[in-house]
Amino acid sequence: MMLSDEQAFQESMQIHSDYLLRIAYLYVKDWQVAEDIVQDAFLSYYVKFEQFEERASLKTYLIRIVINKCKDYLKSWAYRKQQLTNRFFQTKTDPQKALQQAERLDIAEAILKLPISLREVIIHYYYDELSVLEVAALLGISDNTVKTRMRRARQLLKESLAEDEWEVLSNE
């Protein structure tokens, strides 16, 4: 990389790192892992900087790298081991707070159990607050496909969550 390319790389890191971190966190639900994934994504981009053909915006390209790395992490043994460890060492505090935390954990687990194609539209629509058209553009699918996946994901979540948990999710 020439100096101007390196400056462009550093500028892209400054501009996009917070957004990419939020996306990674919404997938993996762990800030430290999300930070590692974003750093790894920027490292991949740095190594392949000259291969970027600008068919899409840099932001979309970086988001795609982060999403793919999140999917790889969620399939990994490290993630499964962490989930198992978290269940053993959950601390109980205030009963009301513990109940709310358990409900949120149940919702997060239900979302993470969805097939990835359904999970990513839910994450981008509800947690990243993107419109249907923005989700479609980001994932490279039609807006009708996004709507269909949203409908299927909501139905699966409704079936898997208790009534009160579904109300919590639908009110957010």
* Cα torsion 6, 10, 12, 13: sign: positive
Assigned architecture for domain 90-172: Orthogonal Bundle (1.10)
Residue ranges, the chain, pLDDT below 70: 1-5, 49-50, 52-53, 56, 79-104, 162-172
Q: Would you kindly state where each structural domain of the chain is located, as residue ranges?
A: 1-89, 90-172
**Crossing angle for the helix pair 132-139 and 143-160, to the nearest 10 degrees:** 100
* Cα torsion 169, 134, 138, 24: sign: negative
Alpha-carbon span 127 to 144, nearest angstrom: 20
Q: What is the pTM of this model?
A: 0.50
Q: What is the pLDDT of residues 99-126, one digit of tens each?
A: 666 666 777 778 878 888 888 888 888 8
CATH fold of 1-89: Rna Polymerase Sigma Factor; Chain: A (1.10.1740)
pLDDT the model gives residue 1 = 44
Supply 17's token pair. 């790192």
